[in-house]
Amino acid sequence: MKFGVIVFPGSNCDRDIATVTQGLLNIPTRMVWHQDTDISDLDVVVVPGGFSYGDYLRCGAIAQFSPVMNSVIEHAQQGKYVLGICNGFQVLTEVGLLPGALIRNRGLHFICDRVPVRVERNDLVWTQDYHNPQQIITLPIAHGEGCYYADRDTLQALEDNNQVLFRYCDQWGEINPDSNPNGSADNIAGIINQQGNVLGMMPHPERASDQAIGSTDGLGVFQGLLSKMAIAQ
């Protein structure tokens, strides 16, 4: 098994991912410059959080045209795994791998906090390491454009196809406006594509993966992938 982490000019969370995959889980990890196009050796591609160049126009608007993104699209179409975190989620919506868009937070302020998140399903590779559906975990957020938006038909399709994987909630797991930090439609914090091999999420699981920094709630996202690949091999 091998991870690849896309590096854009201005990325600031790419090393965080590698610290988890290679440093904590001992999985071979390659940093992939955004102009590279050969990712055929990779099993999982991560489009990391942070800021990519051109974000002053719209988050991910310019990053979507990087040469590597065509390869990421092909990677996903082959059924391989793609994870987009924060700015990476924005990029995945820009290239059409996930529906909807990420827009300015409801309060028009940058938010940096730790928030409760409800795991809606634990029958997928991304969440199989979590014990129960509806499990509540705590993950960091750090974004100014993290408000998930889609038209009502798209939101209904996400519900009908069980594509919502994470939602913002309160400490008891209830979904309500007060537990929605950025105004995301239906409290959406993370979604998958219909095939389930592409995940975009706004919270940062890599920032909650090491007990040395106080939490391992996010580690399950990566361990689920590791378990899946171990079984496949």
Report the catalytic residues: 86, 204, 206
Amino acid at 44: V
Task: Count the neighbouring beta carbons within 10 Å of the beta carbon of residue 103.
Answer: 17
The two beta strands, 188-192 and 198-201, are: antiparallel
